Amino acid sequence: MKCPFCNNENIRVIDSRPAEDNNAIRRRRQCEACGRRFTTYEKIETIPLMVVKKDETREPYDRSKIEAGVLLACHKRPVSTQDINHLVDEVENEVFNAEKEVSTTRIGNLVMDKLKELDEVAYVRFSSVYREFKDVNTFLKELEKLYKGRK
């Protein structure tokens, strides 16, 4: 990538977030040479954001997995769908700032931080289950079992 003003190739990313339609990532960039800022949009399909699991294997980032985990943790709690969406948006903003790879541990910690502010019970549920498991898939399965057993 080159600076559109001076053609310099040293560009710094100062902010990354999903664009409003969620199909693209909006990045604010700053040229190291002339200091001018510009915005780029990248289609989500072209961005290989990978999630690194604890066993070092990788899988493509999947928002629905985070949503499912938070949704389960908030089961029968006074938390709206809007709150959950907002929480996942916030997690995504930070995850996308991590550029190409992000660990499941980092995602889990972000979710825990934000759940803590939103609902204490959901936070305790999420963290007690999450800390035990190797990856999000196992975590979701266990959490589902937990709720099925309590019905």
Binding site for Zn ion (CB under 5 A): 3, 5-6, 8, 31, 33-34
If the CB atoms of residues 3 and 102 are measured against Zn ion, the closer one turns out to be 3
Closest separation between CB of residue 28 and Zn ion, Å?
14
Listing DSSP states for 66-95 in one string gives: HHHHHHHHTTTSS--HHHHHHHHHHHHHHH
Contact assessment for residue 112 and residue 127, using Cβ atoms and an 8 Å cutoff: yes
Closest separation between CB of residue 132 and Zn ion, Å?
49
If the CB atoms of residues 29 and 114 are measured against Zn ion, the closer one turns out to be 29
Closest separation between CB of residue 99 and Zn ion, Å?
21
If the CB atoms of residues 13 and 89 are measured against Zn ion, the closer one turns out to be 13
Closest separation between CB of residue 37 and Zn ion, Å?
10
Which residues does 47 contact at the CB level (< 8 Å), separation at least 6?
Answer: 25
Distances in Å between the alpha carbon of 92 and those of 2, 43, 74? 27, 15, 19
If the CB atoms of residues 5 and 41 are measured against Zn ion, the closer one turns out to be 5
Closest separation between CB of residue 31 and Zn ion, Å?
3
If the CB atoms of residues 31 and 51 are measured against Zn ion, the closer one turns out to be 31
Tokens 């700053």 found at? 30
Which residues does 69 contact at the CB level (< 8 Å), separation at least 6?
Answer: 111, 126, 130, 136, 139, 140, 143
